[in-house]
Amino acid sequence: MSRMRARIAERLKEAQNTAASLTTFNEIDMSALMAFRAKYKEQVLKDHGVKLGFMSAFVKASTIALREFPAVNASIEGTGTSAEIVYRDYADVSVAVSTPKGLVTPVLRNAEQYNFVEIEREIANLGKKARDGKLTLEDMNGGTFTISNGGVFGSLYGTPILNPPQCAVLGMHAINDKAVVTADKQIVARPDVPGSHVLQTADHRVIDGREAVSFLVLVKKLIEDPALLNLYN
C-alpha cells in the first residue's frame, strides 16, 4: 500500500471502531439548480475559465448549514473524561474529486469565504493535482466536513464512512428523472435525486437526530431554491 492509501485505510477503520454512526436520507428536486447551471455555465466559462458544476452549490449550501448547525462541523478531541467537543467558525471541506483510481477528498480550506466561481476554481485546481498524482498528505488532512460524490460513477445508494476526526459526511448520488405530484395534483417528471441522493452520516456522540435531520433539510431547501444561497452572508 502507498503511504497515502495506508493512512486513509487507518483513518476509515478508526471511524468504524469509534464513531456511533447515524445516517439520515432525503430527496432533492434538482430542477431549479439544473436550470441555474444551464443559464449561467457558458457565461461562467467565458468570463472565468471554469466549468460550473453541481458541487459548488452543495459546498455553498453545506457551509451555510454548518454555520446554522455547528455540531455538524465539530470534532471530539481527547478520550474518556478528558474528551472535549471542539466547535469551529470556519469550514474546511473535504471535497470528492475523481481520479483514474477513484475518488479522493482533498481539502477546500475556508470554503465558507468562497462564491460559486471561486469554489469551482479551487475544486478544479485540486482535481488537477489529484489526476497528476501531486496531492500531498497536507492536501488531504485537516478537513472539518466531507462531501462525497458516488454519483459520478453512477451510484444510486450508499452510506459513506466518516473521516475522523470529522463528525459528518454528506453523500451525493446519481440524478435521475422521477415522477412527482405537484401542488396542483399533476404528475410530472422531475430530475430528482432518488432515495439517498443526499444523505448524511453523522457521529451520534456529537450530533443528535434533530440536528442531523435539520442540517440535511436545510441543504435540501437551499439546493431546491438556489436564490436562497444569496440571502446568507
69 phi/psi in degrees, rounded to 5: -130, 80
Q: Match 436550470 to its residue by C-alpha cell.
A: 35
Instruction: Check 29, 48, 204, 225 and give the catalytic one.
Output: 204
What does the alpha-carbon distance between residue 26 and residue 194 come to, in Å, rounded to a whole number? 8
Return the CA Rg of the chain: 18
If you ran DSSP here, which 8-state letter would residue 49 be given?
Answer: S
The three cell numbers of residue 20 are 456511533
Determine whether 197 is an active site residue. no
23 phi/psi in degrees, rounded to 5: -115, 130
> 152 vs 35, 61, 218, CA distance in Å?
19, 19, 23
Determine whether 203 is an active site residue. no
What does the alpha-carbon distance between residue 63 and residue 88 come to, in Å, rounded to a whole number? 12
Instruction: Check 132, 173, 184, 208 and give the catalytic one.
Output: 208
What does the alpha-carbon distance between residue 52 and residue 209 come to, in Å, rounded to a whole number? 33
If you ran DSSP here, which 8-state letter would residue 90 be given?
Answer: S
What does the alpha-carbon distance between residue 44 and residue 22 come to, in Å, rounded to a whole number? 38
What does the alpha-carbon distance between residue 125 and residue 45 come to, in Å, rounded to a whole number? 15
Catalytic residues: 204, 208
